[in-house]
A and B are shown apart, each in its own frame.
Chain A
Amino acid sequence: MTETTEIQRSSSPLHAILSLIIPGAGQVFAGQIVRGISILAATLILGFLSIWTSAQRARFPDMGVSARIFVIVLLQCLALLALLLIVRYLILRSMQDDASADAASRGILGVGYIAIILIASRPIMDLAGHTPGMLEIYETTLLLAAASLAGLWLWQSNDAALLGAGNPAGSWTPAILVGTLLILSLGWSITGIDISKAISEFSDTQVILRRIVWPWRTAFEYDIDTVESQARIQAPCPPGAIGPEVNEPLVGEAWISVTPTCGDMTVSDNTGTTLGTELTITGGGFEPGQVVEVLWKNPIGNPFTPRGVGETEITISPDGTFVSSLNIPLALVADTAEGAQLHTLVIRQESNEVFTGRLSDQMNLALVGILESIMIGLMATFFGIILAFPVSFLAARNLMMPIMSKTGGVVGGFVGLVPGIWAAIIGTQYVISLFGGLEQAPIIIAIIMVILFLGLGGLGWRLGAWIISQLIEALPVSIGRGVIGFSFAALAATPGYLLGLGFSRGILSIPLSVEVAAVNEQTYAIIGAVILGVAGAAFGYFSGNEGEVSIGALVYAVTRTILNIVRSIEPIIWALVAVIWVGLGPFAGTIALTLHTIAALGKLYSESIESIDPGPIEALQATGANRLQTIVYAVVPQILPPFISFTIYRWDINVRMSTIIGAVGGGGIGFILIQWIRLFQYDAVGLGVWLIAVTVALLDFVSSNIRARYV
């Protein structure tokens, strides 16, 4: 064995003990401060997570008990591991310095580590005097977590010992492996994974699965073909009565014949039951092999199944006939009835259901629902594209970052923006009154509104920028700086005020009384305004009129932030908002999906703009093209393929989303589906699921075709 390996093997017990007491202490002592702190932090976090999880899973009332148990388990694991290490040491000694012995002992260490902990720790816990109840709820996975932590503990102690003896820092791999094992076992416990239950109780799903997987019977209406034959019986039978005529057998249709046709009813009283006259029933012409139902109609004509007096269901023999017997049951007879009454015996056969070809109500509902869903997805994608397209240019870093503006121009722009927007609002109101109300021509008014806001806002910006720039250039430099500083202070103070207000309302106001809250609100708002105002003033003063502000970067940051917020809220949450906004139904779903689509497509579009080849942009700028021309000729041709691709992808998502958005009232098939689920109508649920699956598959086919053709 060479000297270098000799050195690597050497270790420092002092460092090992330090780390054993406080994880990471040995490493810190050996000069590896970051390593030591990382180890301490990891051990603390994983330890706390383990204790907290066991407290949650075992439903211990307090963390203290849970922590105590966990520490006991941890100590046991440490002891067992120490035992294993001794075994390894003995193996290594007995087999001398042999690489295979080292490998073998490591293997034993690894396998023994998990095995012994799983098998032995429970009995040891019993020995330690815990009540069985606590043990039972303490899961194997949590034992594994404790064991992993113990492994981590020993690893870092060993690591400290090696570092302390002057060895170079070793690999993190063992720690990462053990740490992963720990997190996985906690995850197993937290998610309540129970494989034995999953296997043994799988058969329970059949009831639902069968109906969902093949629900097509529910899709159509069936008529039930009924074959019926009757015979009349007189009861009670006065002396000398002969009753109605006995039916004769018929050919080609169902018939029954009953003898005798006159008898007494079954009577029940305190002493017992006296059965009525026994009737022999013969019949023919029924569907062979099928069951017929025996019914009794009292004189008023109300049918009931005569129970306890004979067979109520008879199986027809292969030639279509049957013979059976029945005692005349007790039938209620009207109080006013006198003498003998005519009863009717009915033999009814419900033969196979007859396929009518008509769709069932449920199928009709499902079809309407899926159509609605597809349209919701389509409309949301349509509006999404229209709105996301311009937004995406504002959210593209490479286009926005170079847009610089002189400070004076920015100040003037904002100053001019205010009257611009104000004029646009007045203009919109005028246009609305001109049309006689928003509802008269909403789309035209909306378009005019957008034009007014963009046009007048832009005009205000340009005019303001020009006037202020001219003004500042005319002023002496120091006054110009003062003006710009003051203007920036004013510009920054407004969001500062709002942020302060939001901070106090949103976070601080809860425990405060109304009066105190009002005072505090203003205090915080003013503090916010002052902080940002001073910052703005400093920026404005020191940059002066020659300084440049990346106005593009500001627009980029604001657009991206809004997009990210809107996108991080799921469509189903937007649907909740939209339902309150415009009421239940597909319009709410469309709004929800549109909002999410704008944000998602805006991000995807802008990222594809960011990844374009900048060469053509440069080339077109060099020809003297302006910004708009550069975008039309150098940017748009490059982004068209990814735009088409992303749009189709989003359409795909939107249709799928629209099927579940109904669950919260957003219309479409989800709206119907959630009702069927709540009514346990799994056949109908199956229909919905099938229609969704077919739609998605078709859409996938169509979209991949379009993609292949145009992208």
Chain B
Amino acid sequence: MLEIKNLTMVYPTGTVALKDVSFKVEDGEFLGVIGLSGSGKSTLLRCINRLIEPTEGQIIWNGVDVTEADQSELRNIRREIGMVFQHFNLVKRSNVITNVLSGRLGYTPPAWSLINRFNRADREKAIQVLERLGIPEKAHNRADSLSGGQQQRVGIARALMQDPKMILADEPVASLDPVLAHSILGSLETLNQEDGITVMCSLHFLDLVQRYSTKVIGLRDGHLVFEGSKEDVQKIDDERFKDIYGEEAERLGA
């Protein structure tokens, strides 16, 4: 279980990205995070595994305060939490299998990884993961030779190598077309439902949130302005919509 308590993040430039944000994520949930660009979604996700150091507040992951962890404790927490990115963040020149295997680095003795060695079990696991995501034939292609959707699958495969209890997905479909978006979110949904991996996913489109999330939070200018179940999301009316997305926002296709 993940519990965020009074999380505040102020950038050195003085920008307040998150202000006093508190919420809980139960195990096995698919949490959608909505909000405009700049509302603090990415910052929130990155604070959870401390890619960004929060200024104040606590992040309790399965009873451990992430903000208090030292470097080696932090690495152990991080390897339990996979992360998927909007721009995939693959090493473009490396081949797919290496990118996938790099998800295993948290479990690999550093000396071994220096000479590019993973054990047999890891290699087999990487192939299995790729098979599960439907791209085993791409294992030895260079990452940048893949299409956007395939690259995001490699990104998910890398996260899966961590045997994660939770996956943080930072706008995983924002760079993809609608068809691919459903296919990628479908993969995340499968992992959520079959493997019981908690998913925390920031999304732009409300219809995607309504389709996939079991719970939703909304951020606006760093403040938590919405928290509700799947049903609550279905019931979002224009009034509520404007609370989250601002006065000038118009609802499309609703």
Residues of chain A at the chain B interface (Cβ within 8 Å): 613, 615-616, 618-626, 628-629, 632-634, 637-638, 640-641
Known: A625-B102, A629-B113. A640 touches B51 (CB 8 A): no
Please report the C-alpha to C-alpha distance between residue A618 and residue B79 in the assembled complex, in whole angstroms. 13
Write out the residue numbers on chain A whose beta carbons fall within 8 Å of the beta carbon of B89. Answer: 613, 615-616, 618-619
Write out the residue numbers on chain B whose beta carbons fall within 8 Å of the beta carbon of A629. Answer: 105, 108, 110, 113-114
Contact mask B81-120 → A, CB, 8 Å, 1/0? 1110101111111100010001111111010011010000
Please report the C-alpha to C-alpha distance between residue A332 and residue B102 in the assembled complex, in whole angstroms. 100
Q: Which residue of B51, B75, B102, B107 is within 8 Å of A618 (Cβ)?
A: B51
Write out the residue numbers on chain B whose beta carbons fall within 8 Å of the beta carbon of A619. Answer: 83, 85, 89-90, 102, 155, 158
A623 touches B93 (CB 8 A): no
Please report the C-alpha to C-alpha distance between residue A478 and residue B104 in the assembled complex, in whole angstroms. 45
Interface size on B, residues (CB 8 A): 38
Q: Which of B7-54 contact A (CB under 8 A)?
A: 49, 51
Please report the C-alpha to C-alpha distance between residue A13 and residue B103 in the assembled complex, in whole angstroms. 77
B85 touches A641 (CB 8 A): no
Is B78 at the interface (CB under 8 A from chain A)? yes
Q: Which residue of A615, A621, A633, A640 is within 8 Å of B78 (Cβ)?
A: A621
B113 touches A638 (CB 8 A): no
**7 closest cross-chain pairs (CB), A and B:** A624-B106, A624-B79, A615-B89, A625-B105, A619-B89, A624-B78, A622-B83
A625 touches B93 (CB 8 A): no
Please report the C-alpha to C-alpha distance between residue A638 and residue B71 in the assembled complex, in whole angstroms. 25
Most A CB contacts (10 A, CB to CB) among B75, B155, B162 go to: B75
Nearest residue in A to B111 (C-beta to C-beta)? A628
Please report the C-alpha to C-alpha distance between residue A629 and residue B113 in the assembled complex, in whole angstroms. 7
Is B76 at the interface (CB under 8 A from chain A)? yes
A640 touches B93 (CB 8 A): yes
A623 touches B91 (CB 8 A): no
Known: A637-B91, A637-B93. A623 touches B162 (CB 8 A): yes
26 interchain pairs (CB within 8 A)? A613-B92, A615-B88, A616-B91, A618-B51, A618-B85, A619-B83, A619-B102, A620-B105, A622-B82, A623-B82, A623-B105, A623-B158, A624-B75, A625-B75, A625-B106, A626-B71, A626-B105, A626-B110, A628-B110, A628-B114, A629-B110, A633-B113, A637-B91, A638-B92, A638-B93, A641-B93
B49 touches A622 (CB 8 A): yes
Write out the residue numbers on chain B whose beta carbons fall within 8 Å of the beta carbon of A634. Answer: 91, 102
Write out the residue numbers on chain A whose beta carbons fall within 8 Å of the beta carbon of B162. Answer: 623-624
For the A-B complex with A623-B102, A638-B92 known, give 14 more contacts whose Cβ atoms are closer than 8 Å: A615-B85, A618-B85, A622-B49, A623-B79, A623-B105, A625-B75, A625-B105, A625-B113, A629-B108, A629-B110, A632-B114, A633-B102, A637-B93, A640-B93
Nearest residue in B to A631 (C-beta to C-beta)? B114
Please report the C-alpha to C-alpha distance between residue A638 and residue B99 in the assembled complex, in whole angstroms. 13
Write out the residue numbers on chain A whose beta carbons fall within 8 Å of the beta carbon of B103. Answer: 623
Give chain B nearest CB distance to A611 CB in angstroms: 14
Nearest residue in B to A639 (C-beta to C-beta)? B93
Residues of chain B at the chain A interface (Cβ within 8 Å): 49, 51, 71, 75-79, 81-83, 85, 87-94, 98, 102-108, 110, 113-114, 116, 155, 158-159, 161-162, 168
Write out the residue numbers on chain B whose beta carbons fall within 8 Å of the beta carbon of A618. Answer: 51, 85, 89
Please report the C-alpha to C-alpha distance between residue A629 and residue B106 in the assembled complex, in whole angstroms. 9
Give chain A nearest CB distance to B198 CB in angstroms: 15
Write out the residue numbers on chain B whose beta carbons fall within 8 Å of the beta carbon of A621. Answer: 51, 78
Please report the C-alpha to C-alpha distance between residue A623 and residue B118 in the assembled complex, in whole angstroms. 15
Give chain A nearest CB distance to B168 CB in angstroms: 8
Write out the residue numbers on chain B whose beta carbons fall within 8 Å of the beta carbon of A628. Answer: 110, 113-114
Please report the C-alpha to C-alpha distance between residue A509 and residue B102 in the assembled complex, in whole angstroms. 60
Please report the C-alpha to C-alpha distance between residue A613 and residue B162 in the assembled complex, in whole angstroms. 23
Write out the residue numbers on chain B whose beta carbons fall within 8 Å of the beta carbon of A625. Answer: 75, 102, 105-106, 113
Give chain B nearest CB distance to A701 CB in angstroms: 26
Give chain A nearest CB distance to B69 CB in angstroms: 11
Write out the residue numbers on chain B whose beta carbons fall within 8 Å of the beta carbon of A613. Answer: 89, 92
Nearest residue in A to B53 (C-beta to C-beta)? A404
Give chain B nearest CB distance to A628 CB in angstroms: 5
Write out the residue numbers on chain A whose beta carbons fall within 8 Å of the beta carbon of B76. Answer: 624
Please report the C-alpha to C-alpha distance between residue A626 and residue B79 in the assembled complex, in whole angstroms. 11
Nearest residue in B to A628 (C-beta to C-beta)? B110
Nearest residue in B to A615 (C-beta to C-beta)? B89
Please report the C-alpha to C-alpha distance between residue A638 and residue B85 in the assembled complex, in whole angstroms. 18
Write out the residue numbers on chain A whose beta carbons fall within 8 Å of the beta carbon of B75. Answer: 624-626
A633 touches B85 (CB 8 A): no
Give chain A nearest CB distance to B207 CB in angstroms: 28
Give chain A nearest CB distance to B148 CB in angstroms: 14
Give chain A nearest CB distance to B155 CB in angstroms: 8
Please report the C-alpha to C-alpha distance between residue A628 and residue B109 in the assembled complex, in whole angstroms. 11
Give chain B nearest CB distance to A218 CB in angstroms: 51
